[in-house]
Each structure stands twice: as C-alpha cells, then as structure tokens.
Amino acid sequence: MLNLVLFGPPGAGKGTQADFLIEKYKLNHLSTGDLLRDQIAAETELGKEAKRYIDKGYLAPDSVVIEMIKNILKENKEANGYIFDGFPRTVAQAKALDELLNEYNIPVSGMLCLRVDEEELKQRLLNRGKTSGRPDDQDFSIIENRIRIYNEKTEPLRDYYRAQNKYYKIDGAGSIEEVTKRLVDTIAIL
Ligand code: B4P
C-alpha cells in the first residue's frame, strides 16, 4: 500500500501534483485545504471556526484538522492508499497521523518535499489569486504570513520524517511535467 505525504510551502505544487498522482497510482486524495474550504463553503460550525484562521494566513487548529482526518480514514478502510496533501502541517498532526495509520497497519511510505524559491511561491499564489477567489491568495501580506507560518511550524516536520528515513527532497521548480517526473522517479524507489 502506498501512502504518500506531499509536503512543501504554500504554492509549491502539492495540489497540482496530487491531481496527477492520484490518477496514476489510484490513491485516495486527502487534501486538508480542500476539506476545510468545503466546510467553509457549507458554512458548518467547523468551517466558520477554520475560516477565522485561514483567511488571515494562519493554520486551522490541530484538533479540528485531526478530527477531520480521523473520520475520513474510518470511512475509507478499503482505500488503496492515500496522498496526504497539505497534511500534516505541524508535529502534533504528524504524530496523530502516525498513531492513526498504526491502528490500520498502513504506515507512511514516504514524505515528498517540494522545494521552491520563495519569490516564485509568492508569484504563483498571486497569479492563482487572480482567478481562484481564495482570499488567502489575494493579499501579499497574507501570502507572506502563510510562508512565515510554514517556516515556523511546518518546516520542522522535515526532521520528524528524516528521523524515520522517510524524507525525500524534490526540486519543485520548472514545468509541472518536469516536477511530476521527479516525483514519479522518487516514488519508484520507495
Ligand atoms: P492548501 O489548500 O493546502 O493550499 P496551498 O498550500 O495554498 O497550496 P498548494 O501547495 O496545494 O497549491 P499549489 O502549489 O498546487 O492550504 C490552504 C490553507 O488551509 C492553509 O494556508 C491553512 O490555513 C489551511 N490548512 C490546510 N491544511 C491544514 C492543516 N493540515 N492544518 C492546519 N491548517 C491547514 O498551487 C499553487 C499555484 O501554483 C497554482 O496556481 C498552480 O497552478 C501553480 N503551480 C503549481 N505548480 C507549478 C509549476 N511547476 N510551475 C508554475 N506554476 C505552478
């Protein structure tokens, strides 16, 4: 069973690459960003709480995100494997994920970390903001905040997965197809 953690800063290409990988490897796509945006659109209590953080470029609370993941894993016991896209984003989330996957005896196969220059990230997100309607993509200071929070809270996860020999660095610059090829080549050695 293939369980991939697709990792990287905002705008690194996680969602973009996940779309291709789920098709190729027949995996379930679990994007916490998408799940949270669905909750916001449906105006649920969880969505209203998450919106307060996301719109300003902060992470949603760990408890909210972990509960969401727990329910999905429970409902999809027959899955062929997962792409965790944008999750985990904190050490607490990574520990919770390991515990949950241990319960089902399906460990993370590898953490694929997309590396992209900060200026390029800002440009990609601002470009997406022109059409996505996402408030967090439209304001330069919010984008900068998201990158700062990534460096502070999410980047340390590299060490968490490195300690388990599951960390793989992928160059996220270049065309979407070039990045896809690097990912596929890395998945082949997992
Ligand atoms: P996410 O939805 O995870 O989104 P993201 O980090 O903004 O972008 P992603 O990485 O998927 O986008 P991509 O590069 O593919 O998170 C949004 C927010 O939700 C977070 O800030 C946080 O508040 C909250 N959240 C989500 N998960 C959470 C969690 N676990 N805990 C707490 N809070 C959580 O695409 C970006 C743009 O780049 C696109 O326009 C794309 O077309 C373009 N692009 C991609 N690859 C490219 C390439 N190679 N060349 C040129 N452009 C490229």
Residue to mutate (ligand 1; options 72, 124, 177; most atoms within 8 A of CB):
124
Q: What is the pLDDT of residues 23-71, one digit of tens each?
A: 999 999 999 999 999 999 999 999 999 999 999 999 999 999 999 999 9
Amino acid at 162: R
Distance CA 119, CA 122 (A): 5
190 Cα: distance to centroid of ligand 1 (angstroms):
24
CA angle 35, 38, 15 (to 5 degrees): 50
> Average pLDDT, stretch 153-159?
97
Crossing angle of helices 62-75 and 91-104, in 10° steps, is 20
Q: What is the pLDDT of residues 70-126, one digit of tens each?
A: 999 999 988 899 999 999 999 999 999 999 999 888 899 999 999 999 999 999 999
What is the end-to-end Cα distance of the chain in Å, rounded? 11
Residue to mutate (ligand 1; options 29, 32, 62, 175; most atoms within 8 A of CB):
32
1 Cα: distance to centroid of ligand 1 (angstroms):
25
> Average pLDDT, stretch 158-177?
98
Distance CA 34, CA 72 (A): 13
Distance CA 118, CA 141 (A): 14
Atom 39 in ligand 1: which residue has the minimum CA distance?
128
pLDDT over 90 at 190, yes or no: yes
Strand partners, 5: 84, 111
Residue to mutate (ligand 1; options 5, 7, 14, 16; most atoms within 8 A of CB):
16
Q: What is the reported pLDDT for 79? A: 87
Q: Which residues line ligand 1 (CB under 6 A)?
A: 10-16, 32-33, 36, 53-54, 59-60, 65, 86-87, 89, 93, 124, 127-128, 136, 146, 175-176, 179
Q: What is the reported pLDDT for 104? A: 85
> Average pLDDT, stretch 161-184?
98
